[in-house]
Chain A
């Protein structure tokens, strides 16, 4: 029987069960690291450092998780806060390592040319639009959940998603091969 996230969290809370927390990390590491790679423009080392920091914070503050949102949403929020604090400290974001990014894509599911264009177009979006598009369109969060993660009004999330989508469509239309 596969334990749910709630079961694992209960174990961490009741017995300080680090193995249960390890299982939570294993389950969510890909999505959290993926989100941070998008936010840091695929700087893998920085994204992984931030993801590690995010999971560490999640462990230390797991008692504050009240189960009102999905655990993944709560993790995204922590990860986004880690990213924001780091960006504030650095005052700059590092460039794109697209070769390494592409190596991790599944070559069976999508045309490589289109994937390349899409990833590039996504990386060109302003941070607020990119974040909203990644959360809502790529990771399947609702607008409401994304608003909670980003701590911004719901209307702003909708606007950012809409603008981001339009820009992506324009960019992809221009780059589309004949």
Chain B
């Protein structure tokens, strides 16, 4: 009679690798559609916030403040305005990169690389 070890080895060796042969494609075709991006919801929220912000600005007379601010900015030296624009660009760029990393799995996985 064969021993346990031999039997287990023979059992493992009888496990065939079953070729995919279109199986994965059939499974993928049967999956429900991926969740649609809720872009309309984002658009509604952004539009709503913009409307609320505009309303509040009108109520507190922010138009006058903005006008005066622009006139004030015009008196600033050009290098200061350039530095301000550069700083704003850096901040916006940093947010864009962070957002892109979070949204892109390939890039996100690269951050887990160990050297």
List chain A residues, Cβ under 8 A from B105: 11, 14-15, 17, 20
Say which residue of A18, A30, A118 sits within 8 Å of B10 (CB atoms).
A118
Residues of A in contact with B, size category? 35 or more
Say which residue of A34, A59, A173 sits within 8 Å of B15 (CB atoms).
A34
CB within 8 Å of A: which B1-45 residues:
1-2, 4, 7-8, 10-20, 23-24, 26-28, 30-32, 34-35
B contact residues vs A (CB 8 Å cutoff)? 1-2, 4, 7-8, 10-20, 23-24, 26-28, 30-32, 34-35, 103, 105, 109, 113
List chain B residues, Cβ under 8 A from A60: 32
| Nearest-Cβ distance from residue A98 to partner chain B, whole angstroms | 12
| Nearest-Cβ distance from residue A122 to partner chain B, whole angstroms | 8
| Nearest-Cβ distance from residue B112 to partner chain A, whole angstroms | 8
Q: List 5 A-B contacts (CB under 8 A).
A: A18-B28, A18-B31, A18-B34, A51-B23, A173-B1
A contact residues vs B (CB 8 Å cutoff)? 1, 3, 7, 11, 14-18, 20-22, 25-26, 29-31, 33-34, 37, 48, 51-52, 55-56, 59-60, 104-106, 109-110, 114-115, 118-119, 122, 133, 137-140, 165, 168-170, 172-173, 176
